[in-house]
Amino acid sequence: MKNNATRLDSLGGEASAMPAGPAAPRVASCVTTHLPAHPPEYASARAPAAAAPLQAAVPAYLEQVYWWAYVHPNAVRVFERPWLVNLILFGNYTRLCDAALGEIGADAAGATLQIACVYGELTPRLLRQIASDGALHVVDVLPVQLENLRAKLPPDERVALFQRDSSALGFADASYERVLLFFLLHEMPDDVRRATLAEAYRVLKPGGKIVLVDYHRPNRSNPLRRPMQALLRRLEPFAEDLWQHELTDFFPAEAKFASVRKELYFGGLYQKVVMERPA
């Protein structure tokens, strides 16, 4: 999830040189061709306008805290396994993907933004729900995660990948009909989380929808409550913020919503929050 980028190739053409329990599958994420060493951006003909060319640096907290889950090249080889992603989420991966994708809807028109790549099949499934004249844009700060996602997606002019900082997207205001963040917010320090949600709101069109899926404080009767708290404190030092606050608390005061819906899953360990911006 990082800042800047320059245009590269269309996913539909030849490629030019160009990662819950443990870290939630950035799940937060197209064609297998010759890839350059560190490409800043994969763009399609339907790429959104940016204020200026961007080139993102990897934030220090990612390198220090999540090197093992997302940053190191071996992370992709370890975590890009459907059975492991599902195990990390205690068998709830498909259920939570279904919950998120159900909010996107079938034949989704306009532009959809996914902030951060995700291990597993969320993004390929999301692409199948985009209308023929729609667009799916995915941003991530890590080239290794963008390369991994590129390998999972078919050539398709509707999709574009960008190396961007989630807290400084560089896209124009009101660019997207919907924005999806899937198990990303718990991985962020408070200031980065707040800046990311402020950006998500800024690029959302009036009447648009933000879909958040992430951790939540489990019910007291949930037997995983104490083990998960210990595990998150060990591996996910920012995750407990989501146990103490509603996700709406991290939006800027000026962010207004016409509706907010919240659903809990697996004894309260996971949540889906859907917010619609006034038309």
Give the mean pLDDT of 4-15.
Answer: 32
pLDDT at residue 207 in the model: 98
**Separation of alpha carbons 96 and 23, rounded Å:** 16
Model confidence at 244, in pLDDT bands (50, 70, 90)? Answer: very high
For residue 13, pLDDT beyond 60: no
Question: Using CA atoms, how far apart are residues 46 and 269, in angstroms rounded to an integer?
Answer: 37
The 3 state secondary structure assigned to the chain is: CECCCCCCCCCCCCCCCCCCCCCCCCCCCCCCCCCCCCCCEECCCCCCCECCCCCCCCCHHHHHHCHHHHHCHHHHHHHCCHHHHHHHCCCCHHHHHHHHHHHHCCCECCEEEEECCCCCCHHHHHHHCECCCCEEEEEECCHHHHHHHHHHCCCCCCEEEEECECCECCECCCCEEEEEEECCHHHCCHHHHHHHHHHHHHHEEEEEEEEEEEECCCCCCCCCHHHHHHHHHHHCCCCCHHHHCCHHHHCCCCCCCCEEEEEEECCCCEEEEEEECCC
Tally of CA atoms within 13 A in the half-sphere of 94 that contains its CB: 3
- What is the pairing mode between strands 111-115 and 176-182? parallel
pLDDT at res. 56: 81
pLDDT of residue 53: 46
pTM of the full structure? 0.84
**Tokens standing for residue 115:** 């902030």
- The whole-number average pLDDT for the span 14-43 is 36
The percentage of residues in the chain with a pLDDT greater than 70, rounded to a whole number, is: 80
pLDDT tens readout for residues 170-201: 999 999 999 999 999 999 999 999 999 999 99
Residue 32 has pLDDT above 80, yes or no: no
Q: In what order do the strands lie in the sheet with 135-140?
A: 41-42, 159-163, 135-140, 111-115, 176-182, 204-215, 270-276, 259-265
- Given a cut of 70, whether residue 48 has pLDDT beyond it is no
pLDDT in tens, 151-171: 999 999 999 999 999 999 999
Handedness of CA 30, 32, 38, 43 (dihedral sign): negative
CA neighbor of 188 nearest in space, from 99, 65, 29: 65
Mean pLDDT calculated for residue range 250-278: 98
Q: How far apart are CA 19 and CA 278, in angstroms?
A: 33
Average pLDDT over residues 116-124: 97
Lowest mean pLDDT, pick from 37-41, 70-74, 172-176, 193-197:
37-41
Please say if the pLDDT value at position 58 is more than 70: yes
